Amino acid sequence: MVLVVSEEVRAAIDARQPVVALESTIIAHGLPRPRNLQVALELEEAVRREGAVPATVAVLDGRPRVGLDKEQLERVANQDGIRKLGHRDLPLSVAAGVSGATTVSATAQLAALAGIRVFATGGLGGVHREWTVTQDESADLGLLARTRITVVCAGVKSILDVPATLQRLETLGVAVAGYGTDRFPGFYLSDSGHPVDWRLDTPEQVAAVMRAQDALDTPASTLIVANPVPEAEQLDPELHARVLADALRACGEQGVIGQAVTPFLLDYLVRYTDGASLSANLAAVRGNVRLAARIATAWTRG
Ligand code: PSU
Ligand code: MN
């Protein structure tokens, strides 16, 4: 098979030990260098500290990989012009023999193919605010609607149209639960301003939902566990609103489109909040990774 699963990850899956998939677009395109490599290593370490095995996903020289060693992580973090791969790009990158970082959609697809059930990221993609003009909706949503995996995230990125994204998730039949909250988290913010219908409070409760998905034999779809960044570590909501408005304006003025939109907005926020958005983003991802490891542990114990 074209998919390469690292020995450590393969052994853990086979032995039903907890494994957490991690995406690589956040490393290559979502965080500034050189911080991105430190973060990639730190997130893997955080998974290990919780007793689970990290499986970072990327495509290297046309080979989709689940589980990267340090040198491979370095390539993802430092290679100039490394591509951003959604799930539709996977066959194209394989045939072309190129390297790329995987988004949520591509990571979820490859992780599920490898037999991994739990995945952690920062914020999901979704419906962009100018959707009526641009039709820009992240491919994350469509893929999550047909993949059996649990994604731990801090909601969807706040640069998006959050209520429209929540509506799309409902339409697509993707299950969403707040973790320890009745509010849908807002990525950089603990609360997006929108409620969620379901709340889960422990890793065991999450694992019980996963087992119920299997028992009901429902059409494959994702369980989104929306885990808020702690309020003390969130971005100041006023600063967030102000800089985001500027970022969206700059994005339109500069004619940024397609795959470039999300990295452009994230980078703008990092620069014009003096790194405060980066701290909030990292706090969110760290919390998600730790929770994902605990969910994977509860899941394998069941
Ligand atoms: N979460 C982060 N930073 C990121 C992303 C998520 O904290 O950079 C990435 C994910 O890989 C997600 C992608 O799948 O942004 C969405 O890109 P687009 O909007 O172009 O689909
Ligand atoms: Mn897009």
pLDDT at position 28 over 80: yes
pLDDT of residue 302: 83
Q: What is d(CA 278, CA 7) in angstroms, rounded to the nearest whole number?
A: 33
Q: What integer best gives the mean pLDDT of the chain?
A: 97
Known catalytic residues are 23, 157
* Residue 274, marked binder: no
**Ligand with an atom nearest the CA of residue 160:** 1
* Residue 139, marked binder: yes
For each of the domains in the chain, give its residue range(s) and CATH number, in order of start. Answer: 1-116 (3.40.1790.10), 123-302 (3.40.1790.10)
pLDDT of residue 104: 97
pLDDT of residue 258: 92
pLDDT of residue 135: 95
**Distance, CA 122 to ligand 1 centroid (Å)?**
8
What is the ipTM, given to two decimal places? 0.91
pLDDT of residue 219: 87
pLDDT at position 1 over 80: no
> What is the atom index within ligand 1 of the atom nearest the CA of 139?
21
pLDDT at position 218 over 90: no
* Residue 104, marked binder: yes
> How far, in Å, are 73, 85, 124, 143, 242 from residue 88 at the CA level?
22, 8, 17, 10, 34
The pLDDT tens digits of the residues spanning 234-290 come to 999 999 999 999 999 999 999 999 999 999 999 999 999 999 999 999 999 999 999
pLDDT at position 17 over 90: yes
The pLDDT tens digits of the residues spanning 167-215 come to 999 999 999 999 999 999 999 999 999 999 999 999 999 999 999 999 9
Q: Is the peptide bond before 34 cis (omega within 30 degrees of 0)?
A: yes
pLDDT at position 39 over 90: yes
Give me the DSSP letters along 252-284.
HHTT--GGGHHHHHHHHHHHHTTTHHHHHHHHH
The pLDDT tens digits of the residues spanning 219-246 come to 899 999 999 999 999 999 999 999 999 9
Q: Which residues line ligand 1 (CB under 6 A)?
A: 23, 25-26, 29-30, 103-104, 121-123, 125, 138-140, 259, 262, 266, 281, 285
pLDDT at position 131 over 90: yes
Residues 6+ apart with CB under 8 A from 67: 5, 6, 7, 8, 9, 10, 53, 54, 55, 56
Residues 6+ apart with CB under 8 A from 262: 29, 30, 125, 138, 157, 159
